[in-house]
């Protein structure tokens, strides 16, 4: 069993989320370097919970049920979402950020197929390590921030579609040989020849100098 479970945030989480948000270490690596007021936060959270373009997941310790952090997904468009993570202060340094992010991404991936991007402030080495551990690759870097991206959810969907397509291809082959066996033989001879050509090109592509 994973050491972390996730659930959707609710308004009852407002106070703890605000506490985590206004923690000095969080503010240090935030793009907004000031405290957020309780009223501002509750208004913001209520809006986000109603939005279909945001998913806020609370991570909980599987053994105790204690809340350990939050992962938020915000849609840029249908297939591009920005992800951020904030661990509760008492859970930092306990190597739980990566399991939390992995579980949250898996949960998100059951409902959405998207590229995930994460923006990390320069100097936030711990967050860089977490995202890299969870399959995010560094795409861009400037003097203020690093941009990480994870395209695994897209790749997984491509794999699933290709798997279904392979089944369709086999069914088509069965139908062809049943309805027009001689014509099918000629077609698949050409397919086999082309596959051989592709194999040769791939061999050339991967050849070392």
Per-residue confidence (pLDDT) for residue 101, from 0 to 100:
97
Structural domains of the chain, ranges and CATH numbers in brackets: 4-150 (3.40.630.30), 156-205 (no CATH)
Q: Cα(first)–Cα(last) distance of the chain, in Å?
A: 47
Q: What is the pLDDT of residues 95-114, one digit of tens each?
A: 999 999 999 999 999 999 88
Instruction: Give helix then strand counts, H and E, for the chain.
Output: 7, 7
Whether the pLDDT of residue 207 is over 90: the answer is no
Whether the pLDDT of residue 53 is over 70: the answer is yes
| 88 or 165: which leads in pLDDT | 88
Question: Chain-wide mean pLDDT for the chain?
Answer: 89
Query: Residue 204's pLDDT band (boundaries 50, 70, 90)?
Result: low
Whether the pLDDT of residue 208 is over 70: the answer is no
Taking residues 76-103, report their average pLDDT.
93
C-alpha–C-alpha distance, residues 67 and 6, integer Å: 9
Q: What is the pTM of this model?
A: 0.78
Per-residue confidence (pLDDT) for residue 209, from 0 to 100:
47
Q: How far lies 186's CA from each of 26, 66, 155, 175, in Å?
A: 66, 65, 34, 15
The percent of residues above 70 in pLDDT, for the chain, comes to 95
Q: What is the pLDDT of residues 151-180, one digit of tens each?
A: 888 888 888 887 887 888 788 888 888 888
- Judge contact between 134 and 98, C-beta under 8 A: yes
Per-residue confidence (pLDDT) for residue 117, from 0 to 100:
95
């Amino acid at each position: 069993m994973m050491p972390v479970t996730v659930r959707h945030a609710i308004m009852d989480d407002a106070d703890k989320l605000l506490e985590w948000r206004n923690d000095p270490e969080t503010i240090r690596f935030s793009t907004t370097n000031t405290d957020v007021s309780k009223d501002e936060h509750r208004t913001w959270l209520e809006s986000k919970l109603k939005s279909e373009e945001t998913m806020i997941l609370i991570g909980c310790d599987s053994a105790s049920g204690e809340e350990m952090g939050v992962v938020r997904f915000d849609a840029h468009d249908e297939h591009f979402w920005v992800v951020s993570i904030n661990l509760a202060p008492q859970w930092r340094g306990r190597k739980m950020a990566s399991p939390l992010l992995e579980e949250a991404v898996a949960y998100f991936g059951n409902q959405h197929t998207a590229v995930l991007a994460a923006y990390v402030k320069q100097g936030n080495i711990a967050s860089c390590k977490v995202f890299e551990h969870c399959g995010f690759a560094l795409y861009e870097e400037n003097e203020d921030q690093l941009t990480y991206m994870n395209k695994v959810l897209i790749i997984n969907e491509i794999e699933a579609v290709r798997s279904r397509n392979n089944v369709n291809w086999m069914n088509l082959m069965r139908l062809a040989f049943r309805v027009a066996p001689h014509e099918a033989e000629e077609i698949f001879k050409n397919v086999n020849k082309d596959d051989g050509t592709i194999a040769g090109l791939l061999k050339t592509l991967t050849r070392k100098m």
